Amino acid sequence: MVRGMLLFGVAFFAGTLAAIEAKVDFSDGKWNRADFWEVKSPRWDVHGGWIQQADHLVNTTANKVDGKGRRHYGPEAYVGLLWKTPVEAPMEVSSTMSFDERMAPLLVLAPELADAKDGLKEFREHWEVVLFDKGINTWHHEYKDGKPSWYLAAYMETPFAPKERHVLTVRVQPRRGRMVLTAIGDGQEFGYFDPGLPSRFPVGVTGCEGPCRFYDFTVKTDIQQKKR
């Protein structure tokens, strides 16, 4: 096991967690940074940071322009912000977000974290639900033998306009002995069974691949089960 690893949803947080209903306003002066971990990816040594604006947070970006005038954003744009309080399914997390060009603000479920060398946390196994101009992607990231890997677990193709606010919601609930992950973007919904998804984990947001703005962050547990 990686030294400093935090495993949520196993023996570390044994017992039932209290029901949670919380809303964080990312406006300047209206939230407590100490309630969150800043998290980097195991894929790169470099990482981004967060810039506080009047009514939102935005990830730092290195604006690189090639010879044809096209912008490119590298791993310097990637940074996560993870709420330290773990949640338990059935649960729902949502955020109002926007992006400047085509991608890629996201919600993240992260049952495993490690301590990075620079004092940040670092993702291990986690799930990303990503909003971009052509739809929503759900990625399952794994970490085995010291190496990260990932695959596209589910997706929905539908347009989301750049430079406009969108509400992305992720719902996780047990059904028929397995976990169901549902993603909802501006009311458009899709879901899938994921037997590997645990029932307890911290949740948060990540900005990457370009300027990503987050205006709020809402978490609810003990939600009404949706039956199908």
| CATH numbers and ranges of domains, the chain | 6-64+77-221 (2.60.120.200)
List the one residue out of 101, 167, 161 whose CA is nearest residue 129.
Answer: 167
| Residue carrying the six token digits 């005038």 | 69
Task: List the chain pLDDT tens, one digit each, 228 residues.
Answer: 344 555 544 333 344 567 889 999 999 999 999 999 999 999 998 889 999 999 999 999 876 666 666 666 778 899 999 999 999 999 999 999 999 987 899 999 999 999 988 889 999 999 999 999 999 999 999 999 999 999 999 999 999 999 999 999 999 999 988 999 999 999 999 999 998 999 999 999 999 999 999 999 999 998 876 665
DSSP states of 27-40: STTSS-GGGEEEEE
Separation of first and last alpha carbons in the chain: 39
User: Considering the entire predicted model, what is its pTM?
Assistant: 0.89
